[in-house]
């Protein structure tokens, strides 16, 4: 038994570290030309990402060791702190608009994206609320309030991708906590209605659906990113063009170091490289499942499962978008994409998982 636990711990840590170092390498490759053109420097992204990675791993280690990570009061404080940040980002002069979304708070040369942090905070807050409700299947309206408040604030930015990831992870927690199946059937119907309403209130989302169905209908507009992503992935073949030899990073694929970094990985390292990334994610998530079922209580199980489902769904959504399986939406690839907030929250999730792995009785 101890041997299995050591293997789970080792496989989790090794796969997470490997994904982050792969991300570091391809942030440098994908962002070198973009940096040279826009910042007259081919290395700004790799330097910042290295700093983000060091800070993120440091925070993850602190969360792994700190007894506060399993304290419900800490998650309550973190949850309401991130709610305040979500409100602050909507205030003109505080929130920064990028690519049509007011989602960032500028901090000198760096920036903070509150929507990333609230995903972690909600999972911790929601999971810890079940610490005294083991075996009960009663629907609690307070759980909906915890979910809907940050979701509404995120949609005001707007940031559909972050809201969907957060809601899916929250619903995984509710499902595992024992909410009845009929409740999720109702949510499915309500979700279809909400999706239609979101499209009706923002026509650009309908344009994205149309471009998903037929990107060639507007190849220089709404279909541009999807087409350029496929132009990166398809020629990669089995082994790719070689590290640093991407063609699409030369301003064909917008900001390739961010949401579309998997396209560059597939282009430069081919099917083999893309498969290695997917295998590492599979190992990471299988290890998370093993850790979850060995936790000591229900709330620990739910928080580990919630963190793991967040990483899994975000990975699925990102790769689905860049491969043309899903409509384009702005979602980073966990551990790999450039960005401090994204990398930090992913490692915070990893640190939380490792905490409950280390503190098991």
Tokens of 103: 């989602």
Q: Given pLDDT bands bounded at 50, 70 and 90, which one contains residue 50?
A: very high
Q: Any idea what DSSP says for residue 1?
A: -
pLDDT of residue 278: 97
> What's the rounded Cα separation, in Å, for the pair 322 and 261?
9
Is the Cα dihedral 124, 257, 205, 319 positive or negative?
negative
The residue-averaged pLDDT of 76-104 equals 89
The residue-averaged pLDDT of 261-279 equals 96
Q: What is the pLDDT of residues 168-197, one digit of tens each?
A: 999 999 999 888 887 777 777 777 777 777
- Enumerate the H helices of the chain as residue ranges: 2-39, 44-65, 72-88, 114-128, 141-155, 160-176, 181-201, 203-213, 224-233, 261-292, 298-322, 340-358
Average pLDDT, the chain: 87
pLDDT of residue 133: 53
pTM: 0.91
Which domain does 185 fall in, by range? 2-358
Domains held by the chain: number: 1
Q: Does position 22 have pLDDT exceeding 70, yes or no? A: yes
Q: Any idea what DSSP says for residue 92?
A: B
């Amino acid at each position: 038994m101890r041997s299995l636990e050591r293997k789970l711990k080792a496989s989790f840590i090794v796969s997470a570290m490997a994904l982050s170092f792969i991300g570091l390498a391809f942030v440098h490759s994908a962002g070198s030309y973009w940096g040279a053109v826009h910042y007259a420097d081919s290395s700004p992204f790799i330097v910042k990402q290295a700093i983000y990675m060091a800070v993120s791993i440091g925070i993850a280690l602190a969360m792994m060791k700190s007894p506060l990570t399993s304290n419900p009061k800490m998650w309550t404080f973190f949850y309401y702190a991130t709610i305040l940040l979500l409100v602050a980002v909507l205030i003109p002069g505080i929130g920064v608009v990028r690519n049509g979304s007011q989602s960032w708070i500028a901090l000198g040369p760096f920036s903070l994206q509150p929507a990333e942090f609230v995903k972690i905070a909600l999972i911790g807050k929601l999971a810890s609320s079940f610490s005294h409700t083991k075996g009960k299947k009663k629907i609690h309206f307070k759980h909906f309030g915890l979910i809907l408040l940050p979701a509404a604030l995120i949609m005001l930015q707007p940031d559909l991708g972050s809201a969907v990831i957060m809601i899916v992870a929250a619903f995984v927690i509710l499902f595992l906590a024992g909410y009845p199946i009929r409740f999720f059937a109702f949510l499915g119907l309500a979700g279809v209605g909400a999706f239609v309403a979101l499209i009706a209130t923002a026509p650009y989302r309908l344009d994205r659906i149309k471009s998903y169905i037929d990107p060639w209908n507007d190849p220089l507009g709404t279909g541009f990113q999807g087409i350029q992503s496929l132009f990166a992935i398809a020629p990669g073949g089995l082994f790719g063009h070689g590290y640093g030899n991407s063609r699409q990073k030369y301003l064909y694929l917008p900001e390739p170091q961010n949401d579309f970094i998997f396209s560059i990985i597939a282009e430069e390292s081919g099917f083999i490289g893309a498969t290695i990334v997917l295998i590492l994610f599979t190992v990471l998530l299988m290890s998370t499942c093993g850790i979850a079922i060995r936790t000591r209580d229900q709330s620990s199980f739910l928080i580990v499962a919630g963190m793991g489902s967040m990483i899994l769904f975000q990975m699925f959504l990102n790769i689905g978008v860049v491969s043309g399986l899903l409509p384009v939406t702005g979602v980073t690839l966990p551990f790999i994409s450039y960005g401090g907030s994204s990398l930090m929250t992913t490692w915070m999730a990893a640190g939380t998982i490792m905490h409950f792995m280390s503190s098991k009785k």
